[in-house]
Amino acid sequence: MIRSVPSRIELNDATRRSMSVAIRSASDIEGISACGRVVAAALEAGRNVCVPGRSTHEISTAVASVLAAANAEPLFIGLPSEENANVSAFPAPACISVDDEIIHGIPSDRQLTGGELVKIDCGARLDGWCADAAITVPVGEVAAARLELLQATEHVLETAIDLIRPGRRWSEIARILQDLALDAGYGVLDDFTGHGIGRELHESPAVPSHLTRGLNGRGDFTLRRGMVLAIEPILVLVGSVSGAAVRGDGTACGVPVEVAKDGWTVRTVDAAVSAHFEHTIAVGRSGATVLTTPTVDVMTDPITNSVTN
């Protein structure tokens, strides 16, 4: 995700707009899909550790074990802060963010107690191709409002994927996703977006999950067959600070956030809980193909089915 604050993992909007949007061949997409299946399996391994009594470090370790077994390079480890040279590089193979921690949470000895929403975000490279995905996992018995938030966020992602067609402007899709989130009473986040992906983890274009000022200007783009995008909506269970307002230009006002003392973890300022889902997808002839879906045994079974493009 992107945000104009110090210590982010992603490229900023200006940098990404200066880059051309890559169009991938069917064989390229097969390579990204191979990596995507490993990333998805790593996330599932992390999901299995999301139980009371386990630590966020243990979740990250489970993710790392799957990546290592597949000879995939974890791309989050060692990423520098692009705006603050005094912040240490990101130290883990996955971002583990709990409750009001939105993204970029650093794994630690923090133990889960039950009732939390844990966001696991992982990016990797395999044989030169990258993939990125995220899930939100409920721990133990979770309050109904939190489960509804989780389901709503996943629904926004599924809707985005269903709406993808070559020739469609991304701003059209972003407006629909924004309406889904705000009409349901959830907050969104200013300046946080998905991204293109391929040879590098973060490529052009920026892919917001709600209408932004960038999409009202030069940041908008037309979907084309062969584009590969990481789409990653985040919704917030709005607390004392409302995030459901819309500006006069139709763009959403995001929920206020802050960066923790570790220089990486982004959290809501009023402890409002968030949910995050992400898939890497390829734009095909008539729709989208999800490239971050786990196989039964991703480490031993080769990918034999070509990706529709």
Q: How many CB atoms lie within 10 A of CB 261?
A: 6
pLDDT of 61: 98
**Residue 85: what pLDDT?**
79
Residue 240 sits in a domain of what CATH number? 3.90.230.10
Q: In this structure, is residue 102 part of a structural domain?
A: yes
Give the count of domains, the chain. Answer: 1
Q: In this structure, are residues 75 and 64 in contact, taking their beta carbons and an 8 Å threshold?
A: no
Assigned domain for 308 exists: no
Range of the domain at 224: 13-290
Domain membership flag for residue 186: yes
Burial of 115 (0-12, 13-18, 19+ CB in 10 A): middle
In a domain, 8, yes or no: no
Say if 121 falls within a structural domain: yes
Residue 173 covered by a domain: yes
Distance of alpha carbon 289 from alpha carbon 83, whole angstroms: 34
Answer whether residue 295 is part of any domain: no
Would 299 be classed as within a structural domain? no
CA dist 45 and 7 (Å) reads 27
pLDDT at residue 302, as a whole number? 28
pLDDT one digit per residue (tens) for the chain, 309 residues: 544 332 234 444 444 444 589 999 999 999 999 999 999 999 999 999 999 999 999 999 999 999 999 999 999 999 887 667 789 999 999 999 999 999 999 999 999 999 999 999 999 999 999 999 999 999 999 999 999 999 999 999 999 999 999 999 999 999 999 999 999 999 999 877 999 999 999 999 999 999 998 999 899 999 999 999 999 999 999 854 444 578 888 988 899 999 999 999 999 999 999 999 999 999 999 999 999 998 744 333 222 333 333
- pLDDT, residue 163, reads 98
pLDDT at 239: 57
